[in-house]
Structure 1
Amino acid sequence: MPGSKDLDPSSSPRALLGAELRHAREATGLSQDELGQSLFVSGSFIGQLEAGTRRVQPDMALKLDEILGTNGFFERNCKAVNRSKYPDHFAEAAEAETIATAIRQYAPMLFPGLLQTPAYARAVNRAYDPTAPEETIDEWVEGRMVRTRLLDHPTKPLLWAVLDEAVLRRETGGRAVMAEALRHVAGLARRGRVIVQVLPFSTGAHKSMEGSMRLMDFEDAPPLVYFEGPGTGRLEDDPATVSKLRFTFELLTASALSPEKSLALIESVAQDYAHEEHP
């Protein structure tokens, strides 16, 4: 398996732990595949740990210390590195997207987190938990807004979103909130920062009717796909699964409106919401 490029340990605790894992593995003369065999995982999974796209879990940390002779280093550090402000089912995916070179996402019901405005995110989180204290909602919204800062970079990562028309039509937070959310997405698209396509109702049945999906590509690690449901999520690196879902995304983009027609529809619906809010 090709060796990964040098990491910048200052970039994140996960990158530091990955760099230490690579250093310890190479010091023992093991390849990624050989270490993976000892842990009953693939060599590509070891590569993902070293690149920082996957977490070192506590049970694996114990085995790493035993195999690599690292005197409890990974056991001591994996818990601290794995602390996250995101829910457990989403934390690994949220951290992976920060180092992704490209994110391709199909959203069937709501705007992807990276495209949300604070008011829209607040409405979504309040719907998720109607009885949560306001301070908790504030924390959740702040966490989502931190994620959106990924788009502050002019070109990275590539974000390509296919939005079901239901995303545009489902009134979330009121008409003013929807108008603002749609204009925000339209602004990002007009600046060329994101590619957005709308999958219209007229498409009818399609290959991803069962739910959302997010494909992530990386410079030095294999791609990942993330599936999400109510309060649950799963990160998958199986090449066959990733390939199948990539094909699904390609079919969705072929069935969706072009980026130009999608932008026109988004701006038209935003205008409708704004007009109805302020007749």
Structure 2
Amino acid sequence: MPLPKDLDPYANPRAFYGAELRRLREAVGLSQNGLGERAFCSGTYIGLFEAAERRPQEEISRALDGLLGSGEHLQRLCRLARTSKVAGYFADAAELQQRAVSIAEYSSMVVPGLLQTESYARALTRAAHPYASDNVIDNHVRTRMERGLLLDSPTPPVLWVIVHEAALRVPVGGATVIAEQLDHLHSQAVARPRVVVQVLPYSAGATPLLHSAVTLMHFSDAPPAAYTEAAYSGQLVEDSGLVEQISSAYDLARASALSPEASLSLIKSAAKGHASDAHLS
């Protein structure tokens, strides 16, 4: 994929990285495929960097500097291009979500970020950062809410979400906050035809993803990718074999989950239960 002629290399650090990579590649007489072969990746992958459609990676930037004889030039540009408002370990996945035609998420304990309410996101963020200032918490929550705008884009991805029943029961933020969150989860699945929600019930027992948080992303112009997350850390997975293994595990979880209709009924029932608790407190 060549660098688009109307891409301004000075528009942002990522565009400058792409322009410099292309300049260096052409200076040594290599095609995108030729450089990709030497860097043990595809020519398409090199093209995505040059077109500023993918955030550059530190490891491959180091390899490219070695292949192109550019010292640490691309590595320094990479550090500039990787600045992000979201946590560093999630930044690549957050960007890929913007390009995905479909997103499949599984969460064992919480409602996934794209479907969170502000109050629920704030409660989760405060729990994860108990000593942070209010300003820091506000910035985290604002960023998470901005991510949710993806569903309002002209061509939103198909979003398929599986949440474990435990996510419906844990009163994150208290009874009022979780009731509001579950009502929102229900309404999003009802109002948005491209959003599907399933609940994996306690009765399903052990499944391959039981203790996981997983996101699978499919694209129209690139191989699928996955993202796995734990507390304060996450990993983007692009190895085709591992992505396929995660995808198979997700399919098993989907088969064990309640139907979308039964899931919505359980979500509504749980929301009413929490609302009742809030009324009594």
TM-score by length of 1: 0.86
Question: What aligned pairs does 1:181-196 form with structure 2 within 5 A after superposition?
Answer: 181-191=181-191, 192-196=193-197
Q: CA–CA distance in 2 between the matches of 1:253 and 1:23?
A: 46
Q: Does residue 166 of structure 2 align to residue 161 of structure 1? A: no
Is the 8 Å Cα contact of residues 4 and 220 (structure 1) preserved in structure 2? no
Corresponding residue number in structure 2 for 1:264: 265
> Which digits, 9 at most, give the CA deviation of each residue in 1:81-131, with x for residues without a partner?
211111211111111111111111110010111111110011101111211
Identical-residue share of aligned pairs (%): 45
Unaligned runs of 5+ residues in structure 2 are: none
Q: CA–CA distance in 2 between the matches of 1:7 and 1:188?
A: 40
How far is the alpha carbon of 1:187 from its aligned partner? 1.0
Corresponding residue number in structure 2 for 1:203: 204
Q: CA–CA distance in 1 between the matches of 2:250 and 2:104?
A: 8
How far is the alpha carbon of 1:60 from its aligned partner? 4.2
| Amino acid of the structure 1 residue aligned with 2:91 | A
Name the CA shift for 1:59/1:106 in 2 (closer, same or farther; >3 Å): closer
Question: What aligned pairs does 1:25-104 form with structure 2 within 5 A after superposition?
Answer: 25=25, 30-43=30-43, 45-50=45-50, 54-58=54-58, 60-61=60-61, 64=64, 67=67, 74=74, 77-104=77-104
How far is the alpha carbon of 1:224 from its aligned partner? 0.8
**1:98 partner SS:** helix
How far is the alpha carbon of 1:207 from its aligned partner? 1.5
TM-score by length of 2: 0.85
Q: CA–CA distance in 1 between the matches of 2:157 and 2:181?
A: 21
Q: Does residue 170 of structure 2 align to residue 170 of structure 1? A: yes
Corresponding residue number in structure 1 for 2:255: 254
| Amino acid of the structure 2 residue aligned with 1:226 | Y
Q: CA–CA distance in 2 between the matches of 1:6 and 1:149?
A: 27
**1:278 partner SS:** helix
Question: What aligned pairs does 1:5-44 form with structure 2 within 5 A after superposition?
Answer: 9=7, 14=14, 17-18=17-18, 21=21, 25=25, 30-43=30-43
How far is the alpha carbon of 1:212 from its aligned partner? 1.5
Corresponding residue number in structure 1 for 2:120: 120
Name the CA shift for 1:164/1:135 in 2 (closer, same or farther; >3 Å): same
Q: CA–CA distance in 2 between the matches of 1:72 and 1:103?
A: 35
How far is the alpha carbon of 1:55 from its aligned partner? 2.7
Corresponding residue number in structure 1 for 2:227: 226
Corresponding residue number in structure 2 for 1:143: 143
Q: CA–CA distance in 2 between the matches of 1:221 and 1:165?
A: 33
How far is the alpha carbon of 1:257 from its aligned partner? 0.5
Q: CA–CA distance in 2 between the matches of 1:15 and 1:216?
A: 24
Query: Aligned residues, how many?
Result: 277
| Amino acid of the structure 2 residue aligned with 1:241 | L
Unaligned runs of 5+ residues in structure 1 are: none
> Which digits, 9 at most, give the CA deviation of each residue in 1:239-258, with x for residues without a partner?
11111111111111111011
How far is the alpha carbon of 1:137 from its aligned partner? 0.7
Name the CA shift for 1:40/1:138 in 2 (closer, same or farther; >3 Å): same
| Amino acid of the structure 2 residue aligned with 1:218 | F
Is the 8 Å Cα contact of residues 47 and 221 (structure 1) preserved in structure 2? no
Name the CA shift for 1:237/1:47 in 2 (closer, same or farther; >3 Å): farther
Question: What aligned pairs does 1:228-247 form with structure 2 within 5 A after superposition?
Answer: 228-247=229-248
Is the 8 Å Cα contact of residues 3 and 50 (structure 2) preserved in structure 1? no
Is the 8 Å Cα contact of residues 157 and 194 (structure 2) preserved in structure 1? no
Name the CA shift for 1:162/1:228 in 2 (closer, same or farther; >3 Å): same
Corresponding residue number in structure 1 for 2:217: 216
Over aligned residue pairs, what C-alpha RMSD do you find? 3.0
Q: CA–CA distance in 1 between the matches of 2:123 and 2:272?
A: 20
